[in-house]
């Protein structure tokens, strides 16, 4: 007996369905053959980029299995519990089949889980059974993995992470016959969605030169400098590693001290200047700041030897000199984002050791780590085996491919950034929706071999930056505790890349006055949160207790963006007002209009 709310799927005519399948098979064969003709297999007969088991996953799972079999009782208990859940689920499903009202589900997806948003997952007895069966199994698998005792922390994190990747991959939403939305589309279209999906799949494989490069957005919908990264300005200085953009003023008077923004070079700077409505750059200009932006180069093999030290010398230090020529000001304020913030901390320690700390009046950090003790899920990728494999790859090319970094970050949110697009593009056969943030996410950058190896080993793996003199840059031992510059730190509560409890450690490392603010959401959305959107809240606390948990317990929640809170703090450190400065009017002349050429270089 059917559920009264269940919407039956209309079955096609069997003869027409057979013809459609024949047509799909014929056209698919043509598409696949055409793709294979355009691909060159490497000497070993595998697609380019094949690396075997560079992450040492097999060894980690072997160790987990060895630990598990030493406690067979726990395995039996877990299996019994799962079978009991299955029996209860079957009984609930049987009652619904017999016409009884639906009982409370044994398990439900998380509120932010978008995989089961189709109504059929709840209204159809069959699909509800499939959904709950999967969720129960996933919970059991992950609980068993996390309960294994005796593994070291690094192995436990790796096993947990890749178990979740496996569990996410096996979700019923990722398969045609167990996803009601896909099944409905397949039956109603006679399978045309799968044909379009195969064409999309082969297109993405071709774009990735044999490696799958999933299209997350319409790549033709945006053009840098036309409808994205459009805040008016000019490139007024450049060197091998960066172009320096000075933005046009929108106010008659501006704060005396200019503001330099240092973005991470793992991504392109225009995450902070997507479109007018969500541009931090545009907002800062409108608040009366003379804004300068570092636009990092997308390096190739010619810059393989560029080091972290070079990024400091040719990045913020070169920018400070250029800004003095452009504005006449000896001092500036600096904002560093993520890795750009880590570089900022190193630069301030360097300037302090050189007796030039007063060149920076105030320092701001967004989602920045300087203590990598708890590096979050990125630590899964940082062990000797993986770094060694990565260095071997980089030594061949001189850089880390942009796609490698992109894949790593996407895996941290696999359901949102991988599997949702697999379903949309390949199973439903739809074209991805134009979205500025995802266009930026797909616009990957490369990393110079020398710099990236240093960064991974000395900071992530050995965690030396927090130690006094733990690293040396340009002949200067870096000691972050010597930094007396007034500091504003903003972190985000759901950050998977720079966990906020790790970033909080900086509050007790820097030697000067520190203000810490916590924003809602994650590494990107929590930062790119314009006040006009009135979207995410933030927390403030004048005190800095020893632990982040204590800080949050006594913090005050404030609705809306953290940007105005930061503006009030920064304005006090920016001096009085002076007439607005126009790029090219002082000693630095305009090289080219913003956004410049460096940001337009694509990674292969």
Catalytic residue positions, numbered:
338
DSSP label at residue 224: B
Residue 204 and residue 214 in contact, taking contact as beta carbons nearer than 8 Å: yes
518: helix, coil or strand? strand
Cis ω for the linkage preceding 381 (within 30 of 0): no
Could you give the CA distance from residue 62 to residue 72 in angstroms, rounded to a whole number? 16
586: helix, coil or strand? coil
110: helix, coil or strand? coil
Could you give the CA distance from residue 369 to residue 375 in angstroms, rounded to a whole number? 8
Could you give the CA distance from residue 337 to residue 566 in angstroms, rounded to a whole number? 14
User: How far lies 10's CA from each of 13, 94, 196, 321, 353, in Å?
Assistant: 10, 24, 21, 70, 74
What CA dihedral angle connects 466, 472, 473 and 477, to 10 degrees? 80
Residue 370 and residue 336 in contact, taking contact as beta carbons nearer than 8 Å: no
DSSP label at residue 299: -
CA dihedral sign of residues 161, 167, 169, 171: negative
Residues whose CB is less than 8 angstroms from the CB of residue 342 and which lie 6 or more positions away in sequence, other chains included: 336, 368, 369, 370, 459, 465
Residues whose CB is less than 8 angstroms from the CB of residue 198 and which lie 6 or more positions away in sequence, other chains included: 28, 31, 32, 426
Residue 524 and residue 517 in contact, taking contact as beta carbons nearer than 8 Å: no
User: How far lies 54's CA from each of 145, 151, 209, 390, 596, in Å?
Assistant: 22, 20, 21, 8, 37
On the CB side of 50, CA atoms within 13 Å amount to 10
Residue 587 and residue 325 in contact, taking contact as beta carbons nearer than 8 Å: yes
Could you give the CA distance from residue 174 to residue 423 in angstroms, rounded to a whole number? 6
Question: Residue 255's beta-bridge partner residues?
Answer: 577
Listed residue (364, 530, 532, 502) closest to 437, CA to CA = 530
Place of tokens 């399978």: 191
Residue 599 and residue 226 in contact, taking contact as beta carbons nearer than 8 Å: no
Buried-exposed string 311-345: b where 16+ CB fall within 10 A, e elsewhere:
bbbbbbbbbbebbbebbebebbbbbbbbbbbbbbb
């Amino acid at each position: 007996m059917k559920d009264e709310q269940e919407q039956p799927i209309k079955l096609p005519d069997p003869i027409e369905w057979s013809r459609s399948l024949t047509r799909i098979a014929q056209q698919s064969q043509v598409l696949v053959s055409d793709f294979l003709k355009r691909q060159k297999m490497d000497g070993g007969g595998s697609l380019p980029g094949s690396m075997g088991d560079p992450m040492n996953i097999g060894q980690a799972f072997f160790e987990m299995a060895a630990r598990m079999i030493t406690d067979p009782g726990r395995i039996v208990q877990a299996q019994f519990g799962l079978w009991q859940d299955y029996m209860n689920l079957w009984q609930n499903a049987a009652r619904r089949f017999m016409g009884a009202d639906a009982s409370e589900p044994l398990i439900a997806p998380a509120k932010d889980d978008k995989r089961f948003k189709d109504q059929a997952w709840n209204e159809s007895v069959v699909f509800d059974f499939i959904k709950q069966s999967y969720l129960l199994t996933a919970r059991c698998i992950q609980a068993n993995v996390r309960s294994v005792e005796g593994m070291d922390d690094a192995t436990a994190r790796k096993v947990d992470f890749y178990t979740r990747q496996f569990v996410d991959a096996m979700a019923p939403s990722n398969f045609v016959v167990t996803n009601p939305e896909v099944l409905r589309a397949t039956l109603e279209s006679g399978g045309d969605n799968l044909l379009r999906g195969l064409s999309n799949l082969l297109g993405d494989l071709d774009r990735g030169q044999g490696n799958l490069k999933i299209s997350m957005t319409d790549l033709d919908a945006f053009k840098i400098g036309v409808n994205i990264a459009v805040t008016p300005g000019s490139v007024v200085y450049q060197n091998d590693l960066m172009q320096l953009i000075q933005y046009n003023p929108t106010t008659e008077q501006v704060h005396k001290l200019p503001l330099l923004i240092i973005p991470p070079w793992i991504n392109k700077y225009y995450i902070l200047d997507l479109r007018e409505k969500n541009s931090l750059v545009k907002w800062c200009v409108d608040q009366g700041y003379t804004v300068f932006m570092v636009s990092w180069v997308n390096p190739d093999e010619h810059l393989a030897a560029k080091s972290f030290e070079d990024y400091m010398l040719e990045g913020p230090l070169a920018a400070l000199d250029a800004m003095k020529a452009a504005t006449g000001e000896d001092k500036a304020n600096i904002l560093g984002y993520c890795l750009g913030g880590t570089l900022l901390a190193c630069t301030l320690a360097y300037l302090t050791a050189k007796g030039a700390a007063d060149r920076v009046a105030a320092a701001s950090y967004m989602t920045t780590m300087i203590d990598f003790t708890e590096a979050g899920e990125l630590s899964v990728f940082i062990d000797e085996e993986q770094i060694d494999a990565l260095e071997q790859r980089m030594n061949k090319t001189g850089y880390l491919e942009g796609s490698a970094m992109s894949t790593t970050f996407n895996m941290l949110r696999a359901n949102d950034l991988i599997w949702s697009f697999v379903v949309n593009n390949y199973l439903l056969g739809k074209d991805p929706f134009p979205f500025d943030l995802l266009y930026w996410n797909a616009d990957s950058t490369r990393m110079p071999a020398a710099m990236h190896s240093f960064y991974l080993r000395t900071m992530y793996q050995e965690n030396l930056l927090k130690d006094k003199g733990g690293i040396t840059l340009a002949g200067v031992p870096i000691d972050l505790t010597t930094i007396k510059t007034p500091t504003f730190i903003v972190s985000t509560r759901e950050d998977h890349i720079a966990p906020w409890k790790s970033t909080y450690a900086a509050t007790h490392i820097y030697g000067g006055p520190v203000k810490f603010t916590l924003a809602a959401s994650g590494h990107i959305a929590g930062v790119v949160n314009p006040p006009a959107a009135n979207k995410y809240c933030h927390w403030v606390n004048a005190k800095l207790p020893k632990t982040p948990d204590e800080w949050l317990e006594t913090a005050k929640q404030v609705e809306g963006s953290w940007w105005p809170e930061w503006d009030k703090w920064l304005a006090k450190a920016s001096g009085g007002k002076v007439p607005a400065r126009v790029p090219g009017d002082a000693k630095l002349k305009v090289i080219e209009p913003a956004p410049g050429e460096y940001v337009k270089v694509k990674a292969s």
